[in-house]
Amino acid sequence: MKIDVRAVAELKVTCATCRACCCKLEVMLITETGVPDYFIEIDAWGGEVMLRLEDGWCAALDRETYMCTIYEKRPLICREFETGSAECLDERQGLLSEGGRV
Contact call for residues 36 and 70 (beta carbons, < 8 A): yes
User: Is 49 a residue that touches ligand SF4 (CB under 6 A)?
Assistant: no
**Burial class, 2, CB count within 10 angstroms (exposed 0-12 / middle 13-18 / buried 19+):** exposed
Nearest distance in Å: CB 30, ligand SF4: 13
Picking from 36, 25, 29, the residue whose alpha carbon sits closest to that of residue 60 is: 36
User: Is 88 a residue that touches ligand SF4 (CB under 6 A)?
Assistant: yes
- Which residues of this protein are in contact with ligand SF4, per CB under 6 A? 13, 15, 18, 20-23, 27, 50, 58, 60-61, 68, 70, 74-75, 78, 81, 83, 88, 91-92
